[in-house]
Amino acid sequence: MRKKTCPVAQRVLFYLTTIISLLLVGCSKTPDEWLQRAVAAEKAAQSALSRNDPKAARRAADDAGKAARQLQKLAEADGPSREERQRLFQQAQVAARLAREHAGLALERRQRQDKLSGLKVRTYQKARSLIFTTVLPPMAAAAGKAAKVGTNELTAIERPLAQHSWKLASILCARPQLSDGAPDWAGAASDLRSWSTNQTLEFKAFLALVFVMLGQSDFALAELESVDPANLQSTNALAIYHGGRALLYALQGWNQLAAPEAEAFEKQAQIIDGPVNGQQLVAMFHAFTACDAFTKRDFLKMDAAVAQSIRAWPDNPLAAYLTGEKLAANGEWEKAAVSLEARAAGTEDEWIAQRLAQRARDLRDGKGTTKALVLDTRFLAQLAVHATVKTARNSAAGKRLGEFVEGAKTFGQQLRERVPLLGGAGAEKSSSDTSR
């Protein structure tokens, strides 16, 4: 008599058979099929990017990566047609990389959209008018009074306001002095009154720098993103626009968004004598890329980014800092200490020297932490400004940049005093660090 099988056991056996069959089918894919899957997934990620769907793009990128890994196993196996399998694997690697880039860009676009529509930026946009109703008018009035009665007749409050008004006009508008060498107070007053009702790109870029130095990069982003690039005609305006976006995106960690902006800036900066050298900005971008790779422990990518940074700017002062952090991450404390102390020795920026020297001592004593000092985003941004000014100190462009930064510091202090939204503890700390 034939023994009956339990219905539950039959179902379990069926499910196991089905799972095994699926696994066997998956393992039996040919190298060509894995490549086709990787390529299809890359196209799906690109389609998701066009639809602004970061989740779908990430799923497609993961699928492309899985296909590439499966093909890698086949490519590493011995046997006939091994070279062909390796060639197909290289193609799959490219597809997987592109898929990751599509997914990364989709995510960054969504993050940018979320920031611009977030409560913080919406609150700033409502309070933004305070800058043009409570900060600029008194400055314009002080400059206008100086034009009529001279600076000796100004009060202790009006005199610095008038002087700062002239600095802004000369920096942002390149307004010349009068024939007798005196400031054009009337012209400065006119410029500030104009900015109160109609902000130029140059003023918005200046305001963005002010916010970055106040630790309010979201507000800086809101300023530059409000610019319509279709209205920008001059080379200088395009350079300011693309350069500003590249740096702001890099500060946010949006490397995919920053890359084309940095490239666009470099093209424009090659034919103008602007305040920032194009090769230095591109080098800074690669430094931020190295920072991102470091945080992900992707040291191969970090090495490549540091190499690109040095190639773009051979005298890049950040390269040694990045190299020191890489050595620390690998546990080479003594080498890292020497690298960082080498950068600290003899520097004119005492605050940088002190912080790096302490970091070097901690590394030598084996007290390094997972949090990197030099690769802190805000610290690196401040260091980038200092390094760029120092490198170009003796050039006309370098002097102009120095004036631009100093003007931003002074204007930022006035904003914090008059605009409550900027008076928080975070802004206080950022301003203090930057002004050292």
Give yes or no for a contact between 290 and 302, defined as CB atoms under 8 angstroms apart: yes
**pLDDT of res. 26:** 45
Query: Does 370 have pLDDT greater than 60?
Result: no
Which of 355-364, 377-386, 416-425 has the least mean pLDDT? 377-386
Query: Does 3 have pLDDT greater than 70?
Result: no
Mean pLDDT confidence for 259-270: 75
Query: Does 426 have pLDDT greater than 50?
Result: no
> pTM for the whole thing?
0.65
Which of 113-117, 145-149, 287-291 has the least mean pLDDT? 287-291
- CA distances for 286 relative to 24, 260, 310, 371, 411, angstroms: 45, 12, 9, 20, 30
Which of 32-36, 190-194, 263-267, 385-389 has the least mean pLDDT? 385-389
**Using 50, 70 and 90 to split pLDDT, how confident is the model at 435?**
very low
Query: Does 117 have pLDDT greater than 90?
Result: yes
Mean pLDDT confidence for 250-279: 68
Query: Mean pLDDT: which of 136-150, 163-177, 280-294 is highest?
Result: 136-150
Query: Mean pLDDT: which of 146-150, 333-337, 369-373 is highest?
Result: 146-150
Closest CA to 42 of 110, 2, 114, 95: 95
Query: Does 58 have pLDDT greater than 90?
Result: yes
Give yes or no for a contact between 90 and 185, defined as CB atoms under 8 angstroms apart: no
Query: Does 348 have pLDDT greater than 50?
Result: yes
**pLDDT of res. 235:** 80
Mean pLDDT confidence for 302-318: 67
Which of 81-95, 183-197, 422-436 has the least mean pLDDT? 422-436
Query: Does 172 have pLDDT greater than 90?
Result: no
**Chain centroid to CA 182: how far?**
40
Closest CA to 284 of 300, 299, 306: 306
pLDDT tens digits for range 195-212:
988 888 888 888 888 888
**Using 50, 70 and 90 to split pLDDT, how confident is the model at 428?**
very low
pLDDT tens digits for range 35-48:
999 999 999 999 99
Closest CA to 202 of 234, 165, 178: 234
Q: How far, in Å, CA of 97 to CA of 93, rounded?
A: 6
Q: Degrees (nearest 5) of the Cα angle 151, 157, 163?
A: 50
Buried b (16+ CB within 10 A) or exposed e, 1-32: eeeeeeeeeeeeeeeeeeeeeeeeeeeebebe
Q: How far, in Å, CA of 334 to CA of 328, rounded?
A: 8
**pLDDT of res. 430:** 36
Mean pLDDT confidence for 254-272: 74
The four Cα atoms 396, 397, 401, 402 give a dihedral, to 10 degrees, of -30
Query: Does 247 have pLDDT greater than 50?
Result: yes
**Using 50, 70 and 90 to split pLDDT, how confident is the model at 425?**
very low
Higher pLDDT, 251 or 85: 85
**pLDDT of res. 233:** 79
Which of 19-33, 210-224, 401-415 has the least mean pLDDT? 19-33
Higher pLDDT, 259 or 124: 124
**pLDDT of res. 186:** 95
**pLDDT of res. 14:** 55
**pLDDT of res. 184:** 94
**How does the average pLDDT of the chain come out, rounded?**
76
> What tokens appear for 233 in the block?
């005609």
**Using 50, 70 and 90 to split pLDDT, how confident is the model at 401?**
low
| CA diameter of the chain | 121
pLDDT tens digits for range 208-239:
888 887 878 899 999 999 988 888 878 878 87
Q: How far, in Å, CA of 251 to CA of 208, rounded?
A: 12
**pLDDT of res. 158:** 93
**pLDDT of res. 253:** 73
